[in-house]
Structure formats: structure tokens, C-alpha cells
Homo-oligomer: A and B are copies of this chain.
């Protein structure tokens, strides 16, 4: 099979799992919302990104694509995209200099709109390619880190065009945080340990969106769930959902499985670990590997047996008890399982496609700054997702709209 052929296959497989973005592509082909616009994108060059690029091209855009990370570039996908008439500046494993040259080459298209994943392209625009800035009327940024950089630029008055923060929409968060993380965390834990969850006591540290999802799945798999929190309102909500709430100190001696998902550090310390039952399993589902104090565990343990199961290390305490640490404390759903299902990417890339169309429509009226994804885009993504699943919902009648309006106005 030739390279482009393999790429086409991968793209077509990804498209199967992205019904919303595929439907958007169809609509864009009919409505041509991007006709005559040039788009420069700096994204992971993968099959899912290819489906996004296809939708934008169908909408009339001229595409120039560079890789946001040389390690994730799929060369066959890049080749297939070139076959579709896009300018793709990416090759797996290139060095730093080439990486930056690729971004410059993508910018050579003299973009009207830009898509970024980590703010590198936008940064180059504002420093080395300022000549192009006047032509750029808007952009999208995918990552939290990128958004933080952009907000600082905006605060300093340096940002020169409006950017939509597409990393965080309600629909994506549903798929990603609550339902995605919940499932994939246990997918990872089961692959790593093959342990039975029914009848076990699972301690979930943190009851934010992710923690809620993890707790629901733990219960759904037959576990008794204990929640720890530092926020009283969230803790109260957990009790009202039937969970037992304890301090970690009081949870440590009774848990069979501990899952941290707090966004904070040192949630499980050496003191907690020392109080745990023989055979307790420790997993982290938070973003960074700081939630379980692994260094302290290393010091606590007399011996560490690496790899007793895939992604499982056994920490033997001096008194003979063992604790099992999964994925070295790194995020277990990405490390021991496969991370986000394509359904998550479908949500966020669809929001991105709609944000691009929105920018194309509204750009003349927007001040430079960082914008949230408009609520109507969330509604549209959710509506398309429901339609793809064959689910219809009600529409307001005129009388109902009038009733709601009168009520909101307090008359």
C-alpha cells in the first residue's frame, strides 16, 4: 500500500468515529462559509486533524498546515492531505529548526485566520512575522497553556486579533472530563491490574467534574465509594449523591483502590500510604503526576518491584505490606489505557470548525482579545451530536418563547 493510501484509510476510519465533524463537513460544502479565506494551522498532524482540515477545505478555505509537535506527525496522513490539495509542512521526528521552518512555511500562505495548539504560531506571528498581522482577522487556540499565554498577551495589550479559546466547551467537557475520564480511568486500572471492582472500596480524591465522573463509574462497577474533598460545597454535594465523605486520613485505612483527581499536589502522602491496607492500589487520574507523592513512597518502601503487571509497580513496606502504584503516578487513563476516545475529539474539533466559521462571519466586528466559545456553538455541536445518534428534541413554540421572555423580564 502506498503512503497516501494508508493515510486515506486512517482518515476514513477516524471519520467514522467523528459523526459531528463529518456532518459539519457536509454542511460547510453546501454553505461555503470560508470561501476565499486562507487558514494557517499549527496542529498535531493526525487522522482526526485531517478530518477537521477536510471540513474547513469543504467550507472553501485554502489550508496551510504545520505540525504542532513533530513526534505526533503521521506521515501517511500528511501525504494524503497533500493529495487533497493542502499545503502540509510536517514530517515525523524533524529537529527543532525544521519544526520552526515548517511554521514559517505555513504562515507564508498569508493567513486570514489561524489555528494554534500551544501558541507557537501565534507567537511567531507577533514577533517574527509582524508584517502578516494586519491580514489576520482571528484565530483559535486548543490548549490551556496556550490560553494562559494569550491572556497575558491580551492583558499587556500585545494581542492583535481576536482568539477563541476552543479548548473548553460544555459539550467537550461533558465528553472529556465527566464521562470520558470516568470510563478511561477504569479502563486503565483494569488493564493494569485485572482486579475486580465489585465489592471493593474505592476512594476518589476530588469531586470536581472529573472526580464526579470517576465516582459514578466506580459505583457503576459495583464499588463502595468514599470521596475526599477540600471544598465544603462539593463535599456536601457528594454526600447528597449518596457517597461517604471522609478525610484522606480516615479513608486511607479502609480503601482498596485510591484515585486522585484533584488538580493539586501531595493528595496522597507517605503518612496516608503508611496507613493503607496490604494490597491497596494507587492511581492518579489528574493531569500532572504530583497528586500522589511518589518520592515519599519511594522512601517509605523497603523494596520496589517494577512491572509486576503492566504499568504496575509493587512498593513493599518494611512490615511486609505492599502497595501497588499504577503508571508511576502519571495520569492512568492516558498511560495505561488509550486516553480520549475519538468521540471527545469529535466534540472539540467540531467546536473548532464552528468557531472558525463564526470568526469568518463576525471578525470585522471583534476587538482583539480572548473569547469563550459562544453558547450557540455549544448548542450546535450538541444538536449535531444528537442528530448523528438519531435523537430528536422538542422546539419551543412561539407561545412558549413569549412566555419565557415575559417571565425573564419580570413582567
Report the bound CA distance from A152 to B409 in whole Å: 10
Please report which residues of chain A, range 217-232, place their CB below 8 angstroms from some CB of chain B when the two chains form the complex: 217, 219-225, 228-232
Query: What are the interface flags for A370-408 relative to B under an 8 Å C-beta threshold, 1 for contact and 0 otherwise?
Result: 000000001110110110011111111101100110010
A114 nearest CB across to chain B (Å): 21
B378 to A338, Cβ gap below 8 A?
A: no
Query: What are the interface flags for A186-197 relative to B under an 8 Å C-beta threshold, 1 for contact and 0 otherwise?
Result: 010011001111
A199 to B179, Cβ gap below 8 A?
A: yes
Total identical chains? 4
Q: Decide if A171 is an interface residue (CB 8 Å cutoff).
A: yes
Q: For A265, what are the chain B residues with a Cβ–Cβ distance below 8 Å?
A: 399-400, 403
20 A/B residue pairs, CB under 8 Å, sorted by A? A17-B279, A174-B240, A175-B240, A183-B222, A190-B337, A196-B341, A196-B344, A199-B239, A220-B222, A222-B242, A224-B239, A224-B244, A230-B393, A231-B379, A233-B378, A235-B391, A236-B385, A246-B391, A248-B394, A264-B403
Given contacts A152-B410, A187-B190, A266-B399, 12 further A-B contacts (CB under 8 A): A182-B198, A190-B190, A191-B191, A220-B220, A224-B243, A229-B394, A230-B395, A233-B382, A247-B392, A250-B392, A266-B397, A290-B403
Chain A residues packing against B (C-beta within 8 Å): 13, 16-17, 148-149, 151-152, 170-171, 174-175, 178-180, 182-183, 187, 190-191, 194-199, 216-217, 219-225, 228-233, 235-237, 239-248, 250, 254, 263-266, 277, 279, 290, 308, 322, 337-338, 341-344, 378-380, 382-383, 385-386, 389-397, 399-400, 403-404, 407, 410
